[in-house]
Amino acid sequence: MKNNNFYIPSRYRIISFRRRIMEWIDTNGRNYLWRNTGDPFRVLIAEMMLRRTRADQVNRVYQELFNKYPDVESCANANENELNSIIYHLGLRWRSPAFKKVARLIIQQYSGKVPETREEILNLPGVGDYVAGAVLSIAYNKKEWMVDSNIVRVYRRYFGMKTSREGRRDKHVIGVAKTYVSTEDPRKANLAILDFAALVCTPTNPKHDICPVRRRCLFMSRIVVVT
What is the DSSP track for 139-202? TT--------HHHHHHHHHHH-----SS-TT-HHHHHHHHHHT-SS-HHHHHHHHHHHHHHTS-
Residue 4 has pLDDT above 60, yes or no: no
Domain at 20, CATH number: 1.10.1670.10
Q: Where are the beta strands (DSSP E) in the chain?
A: 2-3, 6-7
> Do β-strands 6-7 and 2-3 pair in parallel, antiparallel, or remain unpaired?
antiparallel
In the prediction, which pLDDT does 90 show?
81
Asked if residue 52 belongs to a domain, the reply is: yes
Residue 22 and residue 44 share a domain: no
What's the number of domains the chain is made of?
2
Residue at 64 is within a domain = yes
Structural domain boundaries enclosing 155? 2-28+144-226
- How many other CB atoms are there within 10 angstroms of residue 224's CB atom? 10
On whether both 43 and 134 belong to a single domain, the answer is: yes
* Statement to judge: residues 43 and 133 lie in one domain: yes
pLDDT tens-place string over residues 56-110: 889 999 999 999 999 999 999 999 889 888 888 787 666 778 899 999 999 999 9
- Domain presence at residue 56: yes
Cβ(118)–Cβ(168) below 8 Å: no
The enclosing H or E element of 58 equals helix 55-68
Q: Which of 78, 108, 138 is the last residue of a domain?
A: 138
pLDDT (tens digit, 9 = 90+) per residue, 161-199? 999 988 999 999 999 999 999 999 999 999 999 999 999
Angle at 41 between CA 36 and CA 46, to 5 degrees: 65
